Amino acid sequence: MPPNQPIGEKEPFYFKSFNNVIGIAHNVTELEAELARLINVDREAVKYHLREGHIVQWLRYIGEGELAERLTNVTEPEQALQVVREYLSGKGRNEMRGGRRGQGSRRRYRQVKP
């Protein structure tokens, strides 16, 4: 863990190309942005991280196991970006959990008049 990193904070994902850091993602939203950017900057570096399972491992590490499963065996950057975008839009989560992300309980309460 880097010396200035707060305790309990997870390590970000470092996109590297020949030992140079070309992108950093701290969460899934940043992963989406970096994938979109790096497809045009260094597509082969993204393919390498996908093919070697680095992104999937990192997602499991930060507690995003569902997205990690969806990206397992994905090796094309454009396909990975699509999967991440669907996941963030709630599409992927809805299918797996049968609920809507961020909607909380679906219980309805009847108002009682005094």
Q: Mind listing the pLDDT tens digit for each residue in 55-103? A: 999 999 999 999 999 999 999 999 999 999 999 999 655 544 444 333 3
Kindly provide the b/e burial profile for residues 40-75, where b requires at least 16 CB atoms within 10 angstroms of the residue's own CB. Answer: eebeebbeebbeeeebbebbeebebeebbebbeebe
Beta strand residue intervals within the chain, DSSP E: 13-17, 20-25
Give the whole-angstrom CA distance, residue 31 versus residue 25.
5
* pTM: predicted TM-score of the whole model, two decimal places: 0.74
9 confidence band (pLDDT: 50, 70, 90): confident
Q: Could you give the C-alpha distances from 3 to 23, 37, 76, 96, in angstroms and in order? A: 20, 29, 35, 38
pLDDT score recorded for residue 99 = 41
